[in-house]
Amino acid sequence: MLDKILPLYGIQPVESDVQLFGDGLINRTWKITTQSKGYILQQVNQSVFKNPQDIDQNVSRLKSYLSKTHPEYLFVSPLSGSSGSSLIETSEGYFRLFPFVENSHSLNVLNKKEEAYEGARQFGRFSRLLNDFDVKQLHITLPDFHNLSLRFDQFTYAVENASAERKEKSKDLIAFIMDHVDIVTTYKNIVERNEIPQRVIHHDTKINNVLFDQNNKGICVIDLDTVMPGYFISDVGDMMRTYLSAAGEEETDLSRINVRKDFFKAIYDGYMEEMGDVLTPTEKSYFIYAGKFLIYMQAIRFLADYLQNDIYYGEKYEGHNLNRTKNQITLLEKYLELEPQLENIIGKIAIQ
């Protein structure tokens, strides 16, 4: 397949080393190494991203804006092929080729609070540099991706239509989610009352979407497919969900799930170093809520999938999504228990 794709970018396959690259779950990715340069080739997953052209247009518009306003920022965007387009359509699907950023690396696991700080600072920097960009110019690449109201409705539908067996196995988890529906109510108020502005938001702030230099300092953010209008709670919340615990979402030993308060402070310090002068007072008051928002939403998405016989995420073993739900609910419980301490760490900010 790649023997036909690479020549469209002027690269000869026989003169290149081609290796599968990264741990991404959405797009297929390869590293291409020629005698003089390195590249990253991606095939866009059209089952997830229905309109790859929208992603391409978004990235092009952001690149044009940043090249004029902040030319010093390393914005990793697709290269143009021989046709002049940066998105190439073939019988195999849509492909993009990126330059490989030499002397850079990404992390899959956070071991140090300094790494959390750098990751948060880079995502904050990304939104800050695009603060004056007209967010209405961006396409919605994943409709309702972080729409908690919709996710909750989908969850309640899944509960109503689940088999008796699956409903029985998850009854305590269902009860926990229903007991914390105030998290959904808060989100509805944010949206319906226009309490906070929409911004250019990354929406996928896992640490492996940050490039680091050889000194483990952040360089820039990558994987821009989910960049679209959104609320800052999406980016901060996803960092809380994926940075705070030393154990990831696949961990089945629930005793290993924890909330590292020093990592929470690192996320706050890094993000606010860039966005502290940009966020409104009301946004700042929702900083801790961001963690509840995203962890809760992921828990109900995992559980809804389990109740619907694993039609979305699939399962690698029986009860996989049930275990993922238990993992996320445990994380949320730990987070809620520590909320007073988290408020003391950053200073509670009243809604203005």
Across 4-13, 138-147, 176-185, 237-246, least confident range = 4-13
Residues 211, 335 within the same domain: yes
Return phi, psi of residue 236, to 5°.
Answer: -65, -40
Residues 168, 270 within the same domain: yes
- Summarize the confidence of residues 227-243 as an average pLDDT: 98
Tell me, yes or no, whether 188 lies in a domain. yes
- Summarize the confidence of residues 277-303 as an average pLDDT: 97
Residues 69, 186 within the same domain: no
pLDDT of residue 315: 79
Q: What is the pLDDT of residues 102-134, one digit of tens each?
A: 999 999 999 999 999 999 999 999 999 999 999
Residues 39, 172 within the same domain: no
List the structure tokens of 327: 């993992």
pLDDT of 215 over the 80 cut: yes
> pLDDT higher for 127 or 2?
127
Residues 300, 204 within the same domain: yes
The rounded percent of the chain whose pLDDT value lies above 70 is 97
Which of 64, 99, 134 is where one domain is finished? 99
pLDDT of residue 9: 87
pLDDT of residue 302: 96
Which domain range does residue 156 map to?
Answer: 113-346
Residues 61, 139 within the same domain: no
Residues 43, 6 within the same domain: yes
pLDDT of 19 over the 50 cut: yes
CB-based contacts of 152, cutoff 8 Å, min separation 6: 181, 184, 300
What's the whole-model pTM score? 0.92
CATH for 89: 3.30.200
pLDDT of residue 352: 36
Residues 127, 252 within the same domain: yes
pLDDT of residue 183: 98
Residues 71, 150 within the same domain: no
CATH for 306: 3.90.1200.10
> pLDDT higher for 279 or 83?
279
Which of 99, 132, 155 is where one domain is finished? 99
Residues 91, 140 within the same domain: no
Three-state secondary structure of the chain: CHHHHHHHHCCCHHHCEEEECCCCCCCEEEEEECCCCEEEEEECCCCCCCCHHHHHHHHHHHHHHHHHHCCCCCCCCCCCCCCCCCCEEECCEEEEEEECCCCCECCCCCCCHHHHHHHHHHHHHHHHHCCCCCHHHCCCCCCCCCCHHHHHHHHHHHHHHCCHHHHHHCHHHHHHHHHCCHHHHHHHHHHHCCCCCCEEECCCCCHHHEEECCCCCEEEECCCCCCEEECHHHHHHHHHHHHCCCCCCCCCCHHHCCCCHHHHHHHHHHHHHHHCCCCCHHHHHCHHHHHHHHHHHHHHHHHHHHHCCCCCCCCCCCCHHHHHHHHHHHHHHHHHHCHHHHHHHHCCCCCC
Report how many domains make up the chain. 2
Residues 158, 88 within the same domain: no
pLDDT of 298 over the 90 cut: yes
Which of 69, 99, 129 is where one domain is finished? 99
pLDDT of residue 349: 54
Tell me, yes or no, whether 106 lies in a domain. no
Average pLDDT over the chain, rounded to an integer:
93
Residues 148, 216 within the same domain: yes
pLDDT of residue 84: 86
Tell me, yes or no, whether 351 lies in a domain. no
